[in-house]
Every structure is written in structure tokens, then in C-alpha cells.
Structure 1
Amino acid sequence: MNETIKLLTSHRSYRQFDETYTLSSEELDQILAAARQAPSWMNGQFYSIIVLTDPKIRQEFVRLNPGNPHIEKSSVFLLFVADLYRTAEVAKQKQTAYNIDGLDPLITATTDAALALENALVATESLGLGAVPVGSVRNYLPEIKSLLTLPDYVLPIAGLSIGKPIVEMKVKPRLPKETVVHYNQYTPLDYQHIEHYDDTMRKFGEARETKDWTQKFADYFAKEPNRGVDDFTKTQKIAQKKTDE
């Protein structure tokens, strides 16, 4: 196994960081450079990265989202946003229409942002540091828009807390290969694999997991989805719904 694959397959999420550790500007630049070199559809680079170092802004993030105190206690917090603003400005300069109705442009920009985040995460771990993605930023989108003066056509996707871990974490078991990897066609699910995964995770015994994997997501999808994202994309002029003429 080469060093890159070893790094990828030993990924762990860290949430406890040394508050006295300061990420160097060189390390941050390396992480950002790796993120910016991520693959992008048509080289559109439909994302932006907002580097949050201001303690007051990060404190406000934690006030909004108290379940993730590491946003404040990590060395730096990066916010990855789907960004269709730049190309809106291009269309304005070129005096052309800017048609981003429907889901495809948003999916494209979200994918670009996610790929950049993953590159940043891998770069972070290659430096011997730790990180954890934060998808719950999508729970308070209007507040983030105001706090960070986001323009139209921009949607926060996820954050990334980066720092020096102070608690060692075990590599978390993933779903069995048979449930995720398909060859040539989609294979019907053998539910026994899911039941075995419940058992595996019980034995893994992560303290923050209070429910079986199956129960956690049965409960999650039984609730109403986060409609705030739907509303926010409309106010941001992303994925607009066409009206009848």
C-alpha cells in the first residue's frame, strides 16, 4: 500500500484540538493550494473558500451551532461555498443571459465545493494535523449570509475545522463493500449486510453514537427535511423555479 492510499484509508475525524496550536501561514497556504487544485467541471471552479480566523466570527458560528465548539477551538475554520456569483458577473460583463434554473448548476457547484474540501482535508492530514467537516452550517444559512456578507448566487455547503488533535481517534468502520460498490449494474441490497454493520458499529463503541446506524437514519429521514436550504437557494437566485409565462 503506497503512502497516499494509506493516508486515505486511515482517515479519522477529529473534534478536539490543541487551542494553543497556531497553524502556520505556510501550512495554510499549502492546504488552500491543494484545495484549489481539485478537479472541477469544465474548469469552472464554481466554489469559494472563506478562511475564518476572526475569533468573534467563529464565536458567532458556535453560538448558532453550539454542538460544534471545535469551530472556535480549532486553529482555523474554512467555509466552502458553492459559488455561481463569479460567472453571473461574467454574464453581466458579456451582456448575455444567465440561465441557472433547475438543479444541474447547483449540483455542479456543490460537487466542485465538495471536491475542494476533500483535497483540503487530505492535505491537512498529510501535514500530520486533523480536521472534521461541518455540514450543519446549512442549518443557519441566512445568519451566515449576513455575517459574511455573501452575495447572490452563493450557497454555503460545509465547513472544515483544522487543528492539532489532542485526542486520538480510531478509524471508523465503513459500510461493507458489498453495499456500496457495484459492478456494471446496481445490485439489489442484501439487508443482512446492513444488520451486520449495525453490529460492527455497536462493537466499535463510539461514545457519540447513541443509536444503531439503521435507527439513526430511519429517524433522520422520518422527519421533515431542512427546508431552509430550499428557501435560501431561492433568495440567492440559485435553482430558481421557472414560472409560467
Structure 2
Amino acid sequence: MRNNTVDLLQSHRSIRRYTDKPIPKVILEEILTSAQWAPSSHHVQAYSIIVVDDQEIKKILSEVAGSQRYVAECQVFLVFCADFYRLSLASEMWDTEFEVDEVENLLVAGVDTALAAENALIAARSYGLGGVMIGGIRNNPERVKELLGLPNYTIPIMGMCLGYPNQEPWQKPRTPKEVVVHYNQYLPKEKIIEGLELYEEISSDYYKRRTNGARQEGWTKQMAQYLSNPRRVHLKDFIKKQGFNFE
């Protein structure tokens, strides 16, 4: 049974072109409040949000993110950070040990951050805004840290462009639900392969039509190529320098 919330969720598209219309402050505040009401493991709330509306900072972040011009062109750019700095201060206040060097803590922070970001995007869309997540801020986390004054125990996870849409992009088809949703036990390999082969046909047709034949490879081929090389190997050292001394 469909309703307005389901319609909103299932109509997601990444928006990369925006009008010049500013985002009213009252709406931005509601978006940020909505982000804070995302679920959080053990109520740790291990994230922070940096609101960037300074044009010069957005321009530099655009370059850091791989010359993605929409970072500079959007009305507001949000940077979502995994954040244990605030929690380190809580430990100082009560003179307790700060045992942060566990993979579990990093997972908690990453999940908390992503949930807050998704809440923010859904809230923004409910007000007629559009947005796109930007993982490119992890290209140079040291530069992002310097620009935004990030302290120890913080990691920039993703950015988010927000603005009023000035485009109506096609909606990319998703992986068949039959190979994503499993009941009681994970599906056998052959069933997964069947679904991937079907998705290759569907996604290949999508890209052919969208690009008038200029691009023809489907999702499975794209992902095979994407995962054939290591990516952002510098992040491990950055995370350690930020105070997370994982072995």
C-alpha cells in the first residue's frame, strides 16, 4: 500500500543542478533537526554536521571532491563527520578511560553519520529540495580537516549538496529485490547470479537509452571495474592520525 512517505522514498534521484533560489533558514534548521532525530546506537550520537554556505570554502571543497562543480553551485553544502571528539570531552569531564581504539566504535560512528545524513536528505526532499551525496570529500581528508577546523577523533564521511532542483534526471534502476532481500537464509549463489545477469541487461539498457548508445556497460561490469583497484588507500593513515589507532 503506497502513501506519501513511500512515494517520496521511492522517487529518489540525485540532483546536481540547482536554481538560484536560497534555502530559507527555517527550512534548513528543520532539516538539521530532522538529522539529529535519526536512530543512534546506544545513543552515542557519534557524528557532527558542518554547514558550509561560504562560497570560497564550497569552491575549494568542490575541487577537493574531484572538481564536482555542483558542490560550489549548490545553495548549502553539508559535511557529515564521524565524531568521537565530543565523546572524548565527556570522558575528560568524568575522568574516565577513553577506549576508542576498537573497530566497533568506528562502525557505530559510520552508521550514526549515515543515518543522520539520510534523515537530512529525506527532510530536504519533503520541502521540495534536491540533493546528492558526495563521497569525494574523502579524496583529501587532510585538506577538509584544515578547511573546516576538524579536531582529533573526527572523520569527514560524506558531503551533501542541497538546493532547489533545476533538472529532472532519469531514475536509475535498482538491483532486483529478489537478490537483495533474503528470507531466513541467504540465497544460493546460482539465484544471485540469475539476478545479476538480469540486472546487467536492465542497467545496460538504461545507460544505452540515457546516453544514446555512448555508454553500454551495465551495473555488474561497472562494479567489476570499480572494485578492480584499491581506492583511497590514504584513509587508513588519516584515521590513525585522527586518534583511532587500529592495528
What TM-score does the superposition give when structure 1 sets the normalisation length? 0.93
For 2:203, the aligned partner's letter is M
> Counterparts of 1:62-211 in structure 2 under 5 Å?
62-189=62-189, 190=191, 191-205=193-207, 206-207=210-211, 211=217
Q: What count of residue pairs does the alignment treat as equivalent?
A: 240
> In the TM superposition, what is the alpha-carbon distance from 1:209 to its structure 2 partner?
6.3
Counterpart in 1 of 2:45? Answer: 45
Q: How does 1:226-241 map to 2 (within 5 A)?
A: 226-238=232-244, 240-241=245-246
Counterpart of 1:62, as a letter, is S
Q: How far did residue 202 of structure 1 move?
A: 2.0
* Alpha-carbon distance, 1:210 to partner: 6.3
Q: Which runs of 4+ in 1 moved over 3 A?
A: 206-211
SS of match in other structure, 2:131: strand
Aligned-pair distance for 1:103? Answer: 1.0
Secondary structure at 1:161 match in 2: strand
Give deviations 1:6-62, integer Å, cap 9, x for gaps: 1101111111111x2111101101111111111111111110000000001001011
Moved more, 60-69 or 202-211: 202-211
Matched-pair identity in %? 37
Once the two structures are overlaid, the 10-residue window that deviates more, 58-67 or 202-211, is 202-211
Answering whether residue 201 of structure 2 is matched by residue 212 of structure 1, we say no
Summarize the Cα distance change of 1:218–1:41 in structure 2 as closer, same or farther, 3 Å threshold.
same
Residues 203 and 218, structure 2, Cα contact 8 Å, conserved in 1: yes
**TM-score normalised over the length of structure 2:** 0.93
Residue identity matched to 2:15: Y
CA distance in 2, matches of 1:210, 1:133: 25
Query: Unaligned regions of 5+ residues in structure 1, if any?
Result: none
* 2: CA distance, partners of 1:226 / 1:87: 27
Give the Cα separation in 2 of the matches to 1:158 and 1:126: 21
Q: Which residue of 1 aligns with 2:13?
A: 12
Rounded Cα–Cα distance in structure 1 between residues aligned with 2:73 and 2:241: 32
Decide whether the 8 Å contact of 2:46 with 2:84 is kept in 1: yes
Question: What is the CA distance between 1:102 and its match in structure 2?
Answer: 2.4
Structure 1 residue 5 displacement after superposition: 0.7
The SS at the match of 2:101 is: coil
Aligned CA RMSD, in angstroms, stands at: 1.5
Q: 1 CA distance for matches of 2:101 and 2:62?
A: 33
Deviation at 1:67, TM superposition (A): 3.8
Partners of 1:181 and 1:125 in 2: CA distance: 26
